[in-house]
Chain A
């Protein structure tokens, strides 16, 4: 089982240290601790295990170290910053693992940028040695990239010439969208295996600053301190390990339970609403629930690939969810509340990005109110029982934007802005099934007599379709509206990457990933498709 839970005392690959407002996140990958067997993580190359620790560190800094305002990303190795994703791992991994690995690493990099944009934790990448492929892509998440000018250190995206795949962890997209590198220069850069160093790297905006080795340490420290600037230094809280029991047919957390129906290829995720608005530290309901839901989703993605259908249910008192929402809204300027809102935003995005059919069932006794309504809007289908209610809160109108920059309701009502206003007018009112249907907030409603049959048929029909076609359909329908760098990363870059990952030129017996390291060149099918 791949476990997404870790903490700094268990890290194999990263070192985290704190000095006032500056945190240093040092990559020091242990070659002998790969997540899967059969490869060594040489030269600070990474696999999913390395990235799980990175994601944990980024998240922990936001909650446990809100005093941090600048994060310095660097390598513990002399000659290499990071060599990117481990190629032998990619050569051995199943297609599904590769896709999930890419998705998670992309989510982690976006989380870094989210921390910079919204949590005031700005990132500084200090590249000494080569930053190749995923290594440079990691540096690209930073606000500022420093490159040592020792005439050896380079940045490169050698995926295409070396491996016949793409810089798929946001590399291509961040070059053009974030760093605004001219497209022909980006083309040259991405087809030059050895990369670019020195002045040209600055001229081409691949890095921000070039520093001679003699001034390196001092300049890095100065830059980190300048970046941190002055600001408040609140005290963080501890993110304790999740209480979790994993059984054959059920996974239990405090507020989240997952029932695994393997014959039906379905998992039901049930969220229990809050008991009140109390709860200390990381036991505060929205924070605890978000962490548990996030872990459950990641667990299902990686460890239960054949459960193609996720059903969301809730249980509890809608009034208590609304009370929590009121706190999240009223105290939004407090750092912890801000972080909880941002975490919820990311968890809902993770659900948007999950390649499973999502069905939300709104039943009597459920607590689809405010924040939890996002599960209804994230779903591909939402069915509401005639005796159930649904209540919107202001949180549904801005707190949780999707990757396209719009809320789920904005995206839902792209063609009917008046419906958005009408929905807004219902904030705080418990809508019955008819009202919810009338407002366009659910797909269908069902009465007590038909409920079980309607639900059964919906789920059975869904399970009978092609998994691939459903993934494609859902990914297209979920993200209407404008393109952002984020939607381009997932919708364009990784979609093409996943296509390339299926093609013989990459994964065939004589393809690039299979031949890599053997010394033999891949045999390419030259026909353009």
Chain B
């Protein structure tokens, strides 16, 4: 394989993996390509497929100037296969094979495990595009619409990245799995996506921002762990995907920030001091902060479920095998093998939540989740900075990890956002304090009216501070009329 420093833009599929000289894989990908385009047209963004959108396209894999902005119709977007450059002499950074040269081919003994990881990761990429496909119609601005489509095309590229690995390294099985990735559909009763959270609808733009803030952050953590992989092509793929993923976090974080900003601006202008005076705040056509908190509670708890069981044999096996590392494994200073290390895990014991030391290998899901919680908390602190500059005492908080869980240690109990265990009756009585109600959702839905004038923004969200690619405020990010 070439070292990845050169990108070939000549063929059907831009790439830096020398597809021109890899006939078998090129043929497999070119065979898969029409199905992908069909999928994009059927299940990608609804409407706007023929509009020119100001999108960035990856043109390099170095840290400097890797992307180029320009107007493109989405179905003509240049989805490519791009891996971070190969690092000379890279060794397996953790697990039983630590120190051995990184694998350039799939080790037979870990084939099944690797394939499973790739398929699960790959399945989430098209799933989120499907979940978000209706949002174009209610975009609060051309700027936001463009950001949505940017996220969508890049999720599409991430699917390409996983499909390349499946086609290149897993033979017939890999081709079948690549086909299946196009066949499953988010929320479809007969062939749903693999993970629960990816079968929920993304019904409105606040949900989209929350999703990109919380759920795409899970994606970031998973990619960061896979970027450490001893299987070098996977590591290189994920390293480059992380470059793109940063924009998705940005969309979510600034999106919610702008919602908060708009709400406090409107409250200040109307002279409302009490953030909990929900009817008066809603009358202003903005989203009240307690409802925003409830949305955060929901998306955070759904996302925590994606980390799986706190104690996990699969995670232990993948680490020991050198396939999936920890978040920023390369910055950790332990022995990177964890054979005798312990890690504290929150567990349910006799009806109480306690912290218990567990073999570190078995608790890697918990550890990654802890890293996610820290990373999320930093983002929440940036939201709160908007509030700290005002007189309002309101702060957004993260609920306890035991709150509203369906998977793992706390699936068996009900807990409030502070982590107090509730009886089923108490939960039923208080659920609406913690999570969005139908009424809350209907209110949010009522605000979702498109705002497609250049430089205009829907009344429930503030404009961004700076434009994408430093464009001016009235830039037409999506050309609505020819």
Contacts and interface: CB of A to CB of B under 8 A. Distances in A.
Interface of A: 149-152, 161, 192-194, 212-214, 516-521
Interface of B: 96, 112, 116, 180, 183-184, 189-192, 194, 313, 315-317, 319-321, 338-339, 359, 361-362, 364
A150 B194 CA distance: 10
Contact of B96 (A149, A192, A521): A521
A43 B469 CA distance: 50
A518 B190 contact: no
A193 B112 CA distance: 7
Contacts of B194: 152
A260 to B, nearest CB: 38
B443 to A, nearest CB: 32
Closest 5 CB pairs of A and B: A519-B316, A519-B361, A519-B320, A212-B190, A517-B313
Nearest to B313: A517
Nearest to A87: B313
A517 B112 contact: no
Given A517-B313, A519-B313, A149 B112 contact: no
A214 B96 contact: no
B316 A150 contact: no
Given A152-B194, A214-B189, 4 more contacts: A149-B190, A150-B190, A151-B191, A519-B361
Contacts of A516: 313
Contacts of A214: 189-190
Contacts of B317: 519, 521
A39 to B, nearest CB: 12
A267 to B, nearest CB: 40
Contacts of A192: 112
Contact of A150 (B191, B319, B361): B191
Contacts of A150: 190-192
A152 B189 CA distance: 12
Nearest to B110: A521
Contacts of A149: 190-191
B316 A518 contact: yes
B257 to A, nearest CB: 37
Chain A CB within 10 A, most for which of B191, B315, B338: B191
B18 to A, nearest CB: 31
Contacts of B316: 517-520
A519 B361 CA distance: 6
A518 B180 contact: no
Given A151-B180, A151-B184, A516-B313, A521 B321 contact: yes
Contact of A519 (B184, B189, B362): B362
B116 A518 contact: no
A517 B359 CA distance: 10
Nearest to B188: A213
Contacts of A519: 313, 315-317, 319-320, 338, 359, 361-362, 364
B123 to A, nearest CB: 10
Contacts of B183: 151
Contacts of A193: 112
Nearest to A158: B112
Contacts of B364: 519
A154 B359 CA distance: 30
Nearest to A151: B191
Chain A CB within 10 A, most for which of B180, B313, B315, B361: B313
Contacts of B184: 151
A520 B339 contact: yes
Contacts of B359: 518-519
A185 to B, nearest CB: 15
A387 B204 CA distance: 93
26 contacts: A150-B190, A150-B191, A151-B180, A151-B191, A151-B192, A161-B112, A192-B112, A194-B112, A194-B116, A213-B190, A214-B189, A214-B190, A517-B316, A517-B362, A518-B362, A519-B313, A519-B315, A519-B317, A519-B320, A519-B362, A520-B316, A520-B339, A521-B96, A521-B317, A521-B320, A521-B321
A517 B311 CA distance: 9
Contacts of A520: 96, 316, 320, 339, 361
A161 B191 CA distance: 28
B405 to A, nearest CB: 15
A71 B180 CA distance: 34
A161 B190 CA distance: 30
B361 A518 contact: yes
Nearest to A200: B176
Contacts of A194: 112, 116
A213 B199 CA distance: 15
Nearest to B319: A519
A215 to B, nearest CB: 9
B130 to A, nearest CB: 15
A518 B95 CA distance: 12
A20 B99 CA distance: 65
A90 B407 CA distance: 25
Contacts of A213: 189-190
B10 to A, nearest CB: 36
A514 B112 CA distance: 22
A207 to B, nearest CB: 17
A152 B362 CA distance: 25
Contacts of B315: 519
B230 to A, nearest CB: 14
Contacts of A151: 180, 183-184, 191-192
Nearest to B316: A519
A150 B338 CA distance: 37
A516 B191 CA distance: 32
A216 to B, nearest CB: 9
A516 B361 CA distance: 12
A516 B317 CA distance: 9
Contacts of B362: 517-519
B36 to A, nearest CB: 18
Contacts of A212: 190
B362 to A, nearest CB: 6
Contacts of B321: 521
A518 B338 CA distance: 10
A213 B339 CA distance: 43
Contacts of A161: 112
Contacts of B313: 516-517, 519
Nearest to B115: A194
Nearest to A516: B313
Contacts of A521: 96, 317, 320-321
Chain B CB within 10 A, most for which of A192, A518, A519: A519
A194 B313 CA distance: 15
B352 to A, nearest CB: 15
A313 to B, nearest CB: 50
Nearest to A198: B180
B113 to A, nearest CB: 8
A76 to B, nearest CB: 14
Nearest to A191: B112
Contacts of B338: 519
Nearest to B321: A521
A194 B314 CA distance: 12
B108 to A, nearest CB: 11
A456 to B, nearest CB: 54
B188 to A, nearest CB: 9
Contacts of B180: 151
Nearest to A194: B112
A192 B111 CA distance: 10
A151 B183 CA distance: 10
Chain B CB within 10 A, most for which of A194, A214, A516: A194
A150 B187 CA distance: 12
A516 B359 CA distance: 13
